[in-house]
Amino acid sequence: MSTTQIRILAIDDNKGVLDDYVKVLVSKPQPEDMSGMEDALFGEKLTEDVSARLNCIVDTAMQGDEGLEKIRQAKLTEPYDVVFVDMRMPPGWDGLQTMKEIWRIVPDQFVVLCTAYSDHSFDDIVRELGMKSNFLILHKPFAPDEVQQIVQSVVARTSNQVRTDRKLASQLERAIVNEELSLAFQPILNLATGEIWAFEALCRWERDGKPVSRPDEFIRVAEDSGLICDLGNWVLREAMACSKELESATNETIRISVNVSPLQLKPGFDDALAYMLIVNGIQASSIGLEITESRILETGSESETVIANLRDLGFHILLDDFGSGYSNLLGLASKVFETLKVDRLFCAGLHSSSCTIPIVKSVIDVAIGLGKNCIVEGVETKHQEDTLRRLGCNLVQGYLYSPPIALDEAIEWFRNRNKSQSRFAA
């Protein structure tokens, strides 16, 4: 029978209370405490068997500072499942402040605020911290079974997926610092001439030559855990350094197109990129920024201003995965986007469904009519290529030409481009 290990941190300024947490949680819960606990635990009902499998590891910290340091440390290895925080701390430092700091370090940390009846009301606290789904209030003095039940219900709500994601996020944080990430480059080609128009830089996470996680998975985890800005900055710095290397190896400027999460588009991002250009000694026009349409509406007008500033700095702005989200013709007409990338699902449908062809054709017509470039992603067959040429598409990307490859292979690919061009001329 496998045991579920729960990591708990209790923060207080009273040694006696901290000892109580350890006493209460390390002793096994009694079966009668489980009555009414109907939540599913890893897809099972919470039965006596399951409760007996909970193994609580309780860590304690005297006051906020020590607690925050422990949370920072644990984040790099095994993050805590629950943190209990006392509302009353010494003057100048209270529980609410500790909670705010905790969420700055681990945005989805589950926190239980322990408060005496005379302290702030629930409404006060919600007014101060906002309504969150990851916090509970426990009134003091607490009964042992209340604490146990909280832990069990937190475990029950924390699905396998959340636990896996949390673990992946803590590994990813180390991977960014330890430079375990790398970039692969996939050519984007001019369909008429076969010339390379740009390389798309795609992030890879490998250990001992094997992928640790797929990009769509670890990028989602990075977005959910708040790591996306650190990851994105690493990608941008690396892409700029590679752009410089590509230029000196080929004596030509070939644009590198980088994926940018809308969550990175905060005020100051434009200035940071302008600074990176200076440090790397490259022109903004040699970098493309691919912004996925599906989350752009969520981030609002602040990000639109940042995109407009980036465009003014000279970066080439692309709207990625067009058709997969909510963007409409107004979005398409937006002046800031110079290039539109049609989601690869549309290309996959080009030979199997006749109704996909008119849709792809109208997207290409609108983009070209507005004076924009149109890249169709995911071209895998000659038949798709022929159809796209007929529909007036000007740029293509896909396994038919090359999978994403390492920088030295990309340089080689560029040098041999005439060979690949000959098949376009035919």
Residue 380's alpha-carbon distances to 172, 339, 347, 350, 385, in angstroms, are 31, 21, 9, 11, 8
List for the chain the helix, strand, coil content (%; round to 5).
Answer: 50, 20, 30
| Residue 397 sits in the site that holds Mg ion (CB under 5 A) | no
End-to-end Cα separation, the chain, in angstroms: 65
| Residue 321 sits in the site that holds ligand C2E (CB under 6 A) | yes
Distance CA 252, CA 183 (A): 20
Distance CA 49, CA 3 (A): 10
From candidates 62, 126, 202, 284, binder to ligand C2E by CB under 6 A? 202
The 10 Å Cβ neighbour count of residue 422 is 10
Residue 420's alpha-carbon distances to 189, 236, 390, 415, 426, in angstroms, are 10, 29, 20, 10, 11
- Give the burial string for 23-55 (b: 16+ CB within 10 Å, else e): ebbeeebeeebbeebeeebeeeebeeebbebbe
Binding-site partner at residue 219 among Mg ion, ligand C2E, none, CB < 5 to 8 Å by type: ligand C2E
From candidates 398, 407, 411, 413, binder to ligand C2E by CB under 6 A? 398
**236-265: which residues touch Mg ion (CB under 5 A)?**
259
CB of 265 to ligand C2E, least distance (A): 11
| Residue 173 sits in the site that holds Mg ion (CB under 5 A) | no
| Residue 316 sits in the site that holds ligand C2E (CB under 6 A) | no
Q: In terms of DSSP H, where are the helices of 178-227?
A: 215-225
| Residue 290 sits in the site that holds Mg ion (CB under 5 A) | yes
CB of 299 to ligand C2E, least distance (A): 13
Task: Choose the stretch contacting ligand C2E; rule: CB under 6 A; options: 67-75, 97-105, 130-138, 375-383.
Answer: 375-383
Task: Choose the stretch contacting ligand C2E; rule: CB under 6 A; options: 167-175, 372-380, 385-393, 410-418.
Answer: 372-380
| Residue 378 sits in the site that holds ligand C2E (CB under 6 A) | yes
- Give the burial string for 245-269 (b: 16+ CB within 10 Å, else e): ebbeeeeeebbbbbbbbbbbbeeeb
Residue 98 or 186: which CB sits closer to ligand C2E? 186
Binding-site partner at residue 11 among ligand C2E, Mg ion, none, CB < 5 to 8 Å by type: none
Contact track, Mg ion, 364-393, x by CB under 5 A: -------------x----------------
**95-154: which residues touch ligand C2E (CB under 6 A)?**
none
CB of 344 to Mg ion, least distance (A): 7
The DSSP call for residue 108 is T
From candidates 320, 375, 388, 414, binder to Mg ion by CB under 5 A? 320
**218-277: which residues touch ligand C2E (CB under 6 A)?**
219, 232, 235, 259-261
Residue 109 or 186: which CB sits closer to ligand C2E? 186
- Give the burial string for 108-117 (b: 16+ CB within 10 Å, else e): bbbbbbbbee
Residue 259 or 339: which CB sits closer to ligand C2E? 259
| Residue 380 sits in the site that holds ligand C2E (CB under 6 A) | yes
Which strands sit side by side in the sheet containing 111-116, from one edge to the other? 54-62, 4-12, 82-86, 111-116, 135-140
Contact track, Mg ion, 50-69, x by CB under 5 A: --------------------
Distance CA 393, CA 350 (A): 13
By the criterion CB under 5 A, which residues form the site for Mg ion? 259, 290, 320-321, 377
By the criterion CB under 6 A, which residues form the site for ligand C2E? 186, 202-203, 214-216, 219, 232, 235, 259-261, 290, 292, 320-321, 344, 377-380, 397-399, 404
